[in-house]
Structure 1
Amino acid sequence: MTGDVLRQFTRRPAPPGQLCELCGEPLPEEHRHLVDTRLRRLKCVCPPCHLLLDRPGAGGGRFRAVPARYLVDPGFRLDERDVGRLQIPVGLAFFFRNSGLDRLCAFYPSPAGATESELDPTTWDEVLGGTRLAALLQPDVEALLVHQERGGPGLCALVPVDVCYELVGRMRLHWKGFDGGSEARADLAAFFERVRAAARPLPAGSTAGAEPGTNVGGPA
């Protein structure tokens, strides 16, 4: 997936009155999203449309409902060496499986948008591919979000994919200068605190999925 395709994927139309992009009904203030796997973009949809397409094969497989679960594995630790091997120059990246390309896609947010990382599949398998979170990852609609600050606690969480695009938008909106500035740093800190608060821990020794968590506010 190229950067141009990713920008198309994250560009969300804002019709007058905020209407569902499938049925045209008015959207509630907080709404859910679908992934259009053909166009590689998010669609804002009403609760009935999201529910209708929230099952395997619905819509001919073209539309996939973005779930609301947030998961962390308390037994998994990602250190700075692992982050370096994953080619994350800013200590921040997200990974999802593109069903159309049948491969993993890795991106790291930046002030200019999202940049794709040419990650060696072997490295992915050695660092993240064998984890319990990776085993639960749903193609196209969920991502592994990795955040590692120097000297700070690392985060590797399974999140709805729209949350990653919200993060990209936040960085483009607030980032200033080389280090982002105080406003951007405070905004990112609050963002990751909400992700941590929403994430449910996987039970020890289990690879079973958890019930959907509370959405921390994906793109509107």
Structure 2
Amino acid sequence: MTVDGALARVIRSASDRAAAAGSERCDLCAALVADGHPHLYDTGAAELRCVCRPCSVLFADDGAGRYRLVPRRRLRLPAVDTAVLGVPVGLVFFVPHRDGTVTAQGPSPAGAMRWEVDAAAWQRMAERCPPLASVAPEVEALLVNTVRGLDEHWIVPVDDCYRMVALVRREWRGLSGGGRVWPAVERFFAELTERS
């Protein structure tokens, strides 16, 4: 066996072990990424990308390029009257965009339902709750849960929102969600912690 052949076997073996372990890889350089790794928002594809810490440093300055680093900030807000946005569901997140539009997305057993909300109503709401004016377009969201008597309002990174969508999809049973989804959503919100 040649040195090149042995090296290829070792690399392939390490790659196979990583794949078997379910490890995720950086979407830019293919390095293994740890739990809690950063994400990039790909504005061209409107998708999140997993990224390793060294690659994330390349996007630390909020440029106007294709990729935007998803911030880590979480900020709990006092109750915000989101009824002015005309959204009929109690578990939803609102994402402002650079073009001034705002979308609402609610988790469902099929994934996230998405619709556009009145941008002027969002502006009026942000005037009454100044932290909302600081939400970074595309990469942060206002996450709201008023289901089952809860009154949770958070500014969070969009990856938190998509984790919540995945949780609802995974736990939903039957037509109304079953007995697992709502306790899981309550745990999700209970485990959110503020960070800057």
- Taking a change above 3 Å as real, the CA distance of residues 23 and 191 of structure 1, as seen in their structure-2 partners, is same
Structure 1 partner of 2:116: 118
Q: Is the CA contact 1:88–1:108 (under 8 Å) kept in the aligned structure 2?
A: no
TM-score by length of 1: 0.72
Q: SS in structure 1 opposite 2:45?
A: coil
1:64 & 1:30 partners in 2: Cα distance? Answer: 17
Q: Determine which of 100, 105, 108 is the counterpart of 1:107.
A: 105
1:128 & 1:182 partners in 2: Cα distance? Answer: 35
Q: Determine which of 171, 178, 195 is the counterpart of 2:168.
A: 171
Q: Determine which of 47, 55, 58 is the counterpart of 1:49.
A: 55
Structure 2 partner of 1:40: 46
1:111 Cα deviation from its structure 2 partner: 1.5
Alignment of 1:191 with 2:188, yes or no, is yes
2:34 & 2:76 partners in 1: Cα distance? Answer: 29
Q: SS in structure 2 opposite 1:140?
A: coil
| Aligned positions of 1:3-14 closer than 5 A | none
Which gives a bigger RCO, structure 1 or 2 (Cα 8 Å, sep 6+)?
Answer: 1
2:108 & 2:50 partners in 1: Cα distance? Answer: 24
- Taking a change above 3 Å as real, the CA distance of residues 182 and 103 of structure 1, as seen in their structure-2 partners, is same
Alignment of 1:63 with 2:52, yes or no, is no
Question: Whose radius of gyration is greater, 1 or 2?
Answer: 2
- Taking a change above 3 Å as real, the CA distance of residues 71 and 166 of structure 1, as seen in their structure-2 partners, is same
1:174-211 Cα deviation digits (max 9, x unpaired): 1112331111112111001112xx125xxxxxxxxxxx
Q: SS in structure 2 opposite 1:118?
A: strand
Quote the RMSD (CA, aligned, Å): 2.1
1:121 & 1:102 partners in 2: Cα distance? Answer: 7
1:129 & 1:38 partners in 2: Cα distance? Answer: 30
Gaps of 5+ in 2: 1-17
Aligned residue pair count: 176
Structure 2 partner of 1:31: 37
1:114 is aligned with what amino acid?
Answer: A
Alignment of 1:72 with 2:70, yes or no, is no
2:46 is aligned with what amino acid?
Answer: R
1:96-147 Cα deviation digits (max 9, x unpaired): 1222x44211111112211123322233233345422211101111111011
1:28 Cα deviation from its structure 2 partner: 1.9
Q: SS in structure 2 opposite 1:64?
A: strand
Gaps of 5+ in 1: 1-14, 201-211, 213-220
1:29 & 1:153 partners in 2: Cα distance? Answer: 29
Structure 2 partner of 1:139: 137
